[in-house]
Structure 1
Amino acid sequence: MTTRVLLVDDQALMRMGFAMVLDAQDDLEVVGEAADGATALAQVVALRPDVVLMDVRMPGMNGIEATARITAEHPEVRVLVLTTFDLDEYAFGALRAGASGFLLKDAEPGALAEAIRTVASGEAVVAPRVTRRMLELFAPHLPVRAEAGDAGTDPRLADLTPREVEVLRAVARGLSNAEIATELVLSEATVKTHVGRVLAKLGVRDRVQAVIVAYETGLADR
């Protein structure tokens, strides 16, 4: 199955480089390009890509606003953010807006292709420990963040079982499924099931969004 990709970057040479890398992959197809967020929105409607490779720093409508519009209006489309810095506040804003992950612009070609495949499959592309580093840096600026003692009263957590709360807290600490399984003495398959249920109950698309909810509700360990 071929994954359709839309390239969004205000630098033509950058788009050309990404296109060359992706066109060399049998299962990836670049279906269009855009130099700004507004054009990206129009291209999503016209081309129906599976994944949007999104630069965040662009003139006019930036990548954060474009990501928010795309994920809200076209939830089936996944957004993978491109950034120059691994702790870019713009990239973090795009994750909060609904992006499924971020990737450094100087990533190896193989890593870029694999990241697109991962996002297209419904998974997130942010290493757990990187997610934690980002949130530790920006958590103080998150709105509606509850105090830790009030976490249990947040309505977003009301449907979670005690075990699911444990799993969400572990995810927010940056633990992988294997690490959670070891810590909670569960099988990795069971942890994966719990994570899936947590995502469904929170109404989020991936574990990156779940971690953000954990911080916003005060559930995450400080």
Structure 2
Amino acid sequence: MYTNMNPDSEPWNIALVDNDALVRSYLETYLGGLPEFNICWSMQSGRDAVEAYHHSIACTNCVPDLIVTDLSMHGMSGFELCATIRFENDHTPILGCSSYMIEPYERDAVNNGMQGLLLKNELAQLADGMRTLLSGQPLLKSNGMPYETPQQAHERLLMQGKPAIMSMSPNEQAVMELCSEGLSTRTIAEETGDSESTVKTYISRAMRKLRAKSRAEAVASWSRKTKL
């Protein structure tokens, strides 16, 4: 079972992540208006969501029973967000949602430990999928096979090792984001207030964690992992 929550008692705590403020507000209004759901927190980026998740766990305050996330977000995609949380968490289902066709993203969803993919503009279907996951039942992939449970995905990711972005420090992530914007080492140093030597160290560490042989390869890998 994914949750011990009794749907006849307290509503399920739902966490929402979407970088589009209008869409996020729309989802909050619709889903929060259903009696079985309580929006415990709502974030606009993957990094903010990871921080909110860790805060809720530490404070045992509004711990989500289900996380619903957009796929394409600046800095950390929904897939990287999922892998980061799933690496630590073996019980909370994570549902990806998109405004576009979902089948092309199914492999990434599975690889990063999601429990399903649904269209965010099909609100009734989205709510039904959330109820299915929270009742302990799996959603099905396009081939009719079920998605992994949180525990199955967690165990697989543990075997594979820590996700690359999760292993990078905030400074390394910030520098890689600036690199992806085409900025030079000198300009990045000016932007961050670090020395050029320090920036080069961050880039070198990021390259190693991304298993890249060059700065260009690291930037390409970073962009693939954080931007769809």
Aligned partner letter, 2:54: V
Match of 1:42 in 2: 51
Q: Would you say how many aligned residue pairs link Structure 1 and Structure 2?
A: 138
Structure-2 separation of matches of 1:105 and 1:111: 9
Contact 2:45–2:74 at 8 Å: present in 1 too? yes
Return the alpha-carbon distance in structure 2 between the equivalents of residues 97 and 104 of structure 1. Answer: 18
| Partner residue in 1 for 2:134 | 120
Query: CA 1:175/1:67 → structure 2, altered by over 3 Å: closer, same or farther?
Result: closer
Q: Return the match for 1:13 from 14, 22, 29.
A: 22
Looking at structure 2, the residues matched to 49 and 175 of structure 1 have their Cα atoms a distance apart, in angstroms, of: 26
Higher deviation after alignment, 71-80 or 59-68? 71-80
CA distance in 1 between partners of 2:105 and 2:71 (Å): 6
Report what 1:67 is aligned to: 82
Please list every run of 5 or more consecutive structure 1 residues that lacks an aligned counterpart in the other structure.
133-173, 177-198, 210-222
Query: Is 2:58 the partner of 1:110?
Result: no
- Quote how far apart the aligned CAs of 1:204 are: 2.2
Counterparts of 1:19 and 1:30 in 2: how far apart (Å)? 7
Other-structure match for 2:73: 58
The correspondence of residues 1-222 of structure 1 with structure 2, limited to 5 A, is 1-47=10-56, 48-107=63-122, 109-126=123-140, 128=141, 130=142, 132=143, 174=144, 204=152
- Aligned-residue offset at 1:175: 6.7
**TM-score normalised by structure 2 residue count:** 0.54
Given that 1:81 and 1:91 are in contact with CA atoms closer than 8 Å, whether structure 2 keeps it comes out as no
**How far apart are residue 95 of structure 1 and its match?**
2.4
State, as a whole percentage, how many aligned pairs show the same letter.
Answer: 26
Residue aligned with 1:14, SS: helix
More helix by share: 1
RMSD: 2.5
Q: Is the 8 A contact 1:64 1:94 kept in 2?
A: yes
CA contact (8 A) 1:70 1:77 kept: no
**Partner Cα distance (1:63, 1:85) in 2:** 14
- SS in structure 2 of the partner of residue 204 of structure 1: helix
Deviation string for 1:29-52 (max 9, x for gaps)? 001111111111111122320111
**Which whole-Å CA distance do the structure 1 matches of 2:47 and 2:136 have between them?**
25
Contact in 2 for aligned 1:56/1:81 (Cα 8 Å): yes
Q: Aligned residue for 1:212?
A: none
Task: State the 1:91 CA deviation.
Answer: 4.6
Contact preservation (8 Å) 1:3, 1:117: no
Spell out structure 1 runs of 4+ moving beyond 2 A.
84-92, 121-126
Shift of 1:24: 1.3
1:120, distance to aligned residue in structure 2 (A) = 1.7
Q: So what's the TM-score if we normalise by structure 1?
A: 0.56
